[in-house]
Amino acid sequence: MPDEALPEWLEDLEKIPLDSRLRRKESLKRFNTWRIGGVAECLIDVVNVQDLRLLLPFIRKHRIPWFIIGKGSNLLVPDKNWPGIILHLSGDFKSWEPIEENFNSGKKKVSAGAALADVTFAQKCVPQGWGGMEFLIGIPGTIGGAIAMNAGAHGAETADFLEEIEWMDMEGNLHSTPREKLEFRYRFSELNGNFGRVITRAVLSLKESDPETVEKKILECQQFRMEKQPYNQPSCGSVFKNPPGDYAARLIEASGLKGKIKGGAQISPKQANFIVNLGKASSDDILSLINTARETVLRNYSIDLMPEVQILQSAVYG
């Protein structure tokens, strides 16, 4: 790209004294679990709160299109290039620290960074014998994403275990808010980058158990995933939210769409609420299958399936 086409804000961005790595023209394919997508004008591996405090006001001031990603496990990235900034949390945001308490309540508290992988969190709980969030072993995202989308499985969801959430606004101010002061519902929270609130870490409360019991539960969750889901193919996990009293997978399968192929994408023959990348899927292939599933289920059952997956688009500027 010729110099005259460079964004006006780029020169000022490169002058900010960051510890974080700034990458130009970065492919987004390895930053999402569908392994698709275009190139970002700028991607920053944000390693600490201090850098985030500098970046968010800069983005707001210059009105730059932006988005924040963890593992991109619930994200559809269009094949076209992204003109703004992608913030990818790493470094200090991967922390996991038990919190010592002066009383024995049968609960154990942990401070976890927003970029810590859900799988890692679940694994760290095993030797401690701390239970309740074993379901995270089957969710290929991060703690920040699990909170933002109130991720869940096996009858439990992230909000059930939250005590306190630390987040930053677009002016770089850090806030600490107790769980009861925030709205959570099925696959939703008000703490989301799209709403100008970036989760940095959280305190979670776990149940005191024993390592053998916790490990057994984790193995059961892993076994369920291997048997019921196409875990060895690129996907975003569940594409649609389950409608009240029913299951999106059942409705899609009953509509005769299980196994349907469009280009390089397929509605999984193993689990109909998963769309997998067969190797060379485009974002349009996946969007086509999403629209086909919605339209067919609506026509057959008068139920409008609501997508759980997010589509990469510009967040608010604060």
What is the model's pLDDT at position 260? 98
Band of residue 3 on the pLDDT scale cut at 50, 70, 90: very low
For the chain, the maximum distance between any two Cα atoms, rounded to a whole number of angstroms, is 64
Do the beta carbons of residue 144 and residue 197 sit within 8 Å?
no
Helix (H, G, I), strand (E, B) or coil at 169: coil
Entry pTM = 0.91
Number of domains in the chain: 3
Percent of the chain with pLDDT over 70: 96
Catalytic annotation, pick one of 238, 255, 268, 283: 238
| Mean pLDDT, rounded, for 149-161 | 92
Catalytic annotation, pick one of 26, 157, 164, 308: 308
Q: Please write the tens of the pLDDT for every residue from 197-234.
A: 999 999 999 999 999 999 999 999 999 989 999 989 99
Band of residue 315 on the pLDDT scale cut at 50, 70, 90: low
Q: Which CATH number goes with the domain that contains 130? A: 3.30.465.10
Q: Are 38 and 67 in a shared domain?
A: yes
Q: Is residue 239 part of a domain?
A: no
Tokens of 247: 């299951």
Q: Are 60 and 126 in a shared domain?
A: no
- Pick from 91, 113, 144: which residue ends a domain? 91
Q: Are 81 and 105 in a shared domain?
A: no
Q: Is residue 236 part of a domain?
A: no
Band of residue 314 on the pLDDT scale cut at 50, 70, 90: low
Q: Which CATH number goes with the domain that contains 7? A: 3.30.43.10
| Mean pLDDT, rounded, for 246-273 | 98
Q: Is residue 260 part of a domain?
A: yes
Query: Among 81, 125, 133, 65, which Cα is nearest to 313's?
Result: 65
Q: Is residue 318 part of a domain?
A: no
Paired sense of beta strands 198-208 and 107-113, if any: antiparallel
Q: Are 211 and 259 in a shared domain?
A: no
Q: Are 125 and 210 in a shared domain?
A: yes
> Does residue 84 have a pLDDT over 90?
yes
Q: Are 103 and 224 in a shared domain?
A: yes
- In the residue annotation, 238 being an active-site residue is answered as yes
Q: Is residue 273 part of a domain?
A: yes
Q: Is residue 242 part of a domain?
A: no
Do the beta carbons of residue 263 and residue 281 sit within 8 Å?
yes
Query: Among 73, 69, 22, which Cα is nearest to 45's?
Result: 22
CA–CA distance, 150 with 152 (Å, rounded to integer): 6
Helix (H, G, I), strand (E, B) or coil at 158: helix
| Mean pLDDT, rounded, for 163-191 | 95
Q: Is residue 116 part of a domain?
A: yes
Q: Are 128 and 149 in a shared domain?
A: yes
Q: Are 281 and 186 in a shared domain?
A: no
Q: Domain limits at 190?
A: 95-228
Do the beta carbons of residue 89 and residue 114 sit within 8 Å?
yes
What is the model's pLDDT at position 103? 64
- Pick from 57, 74, 91: which residue ends a domain? 91
- In the residue annotation, 308 being an active-site residue is answered as yes
Q: Are 101 and 224 in a shared domain?
A: yes
- Pick from 69, 91, 113: which residue ends a domain? 91
Catalytic annotation, pick one of 179, 187, 201, 294: 187
Q: Are 116 and 39 in a shared domain?
A: no
Q: Which CATH number goes with the domain that contains 284? A: 3.90.78.10
Q: Are 109 and 173 in a shared domain?
A: yes
Neighbours of 66 (CB within 10 A): 24
For residue 305, what is the DSSP state? P
Torsion of the alpha carbons at 287, 291, 292 and 293, rounded to the nearest 10: 100
Q: Are 260 and 214 in a shared domain?
A: no
Q: Is residue 165 part of a domain?
A: yes
More confident residue, 59 or 153: 59
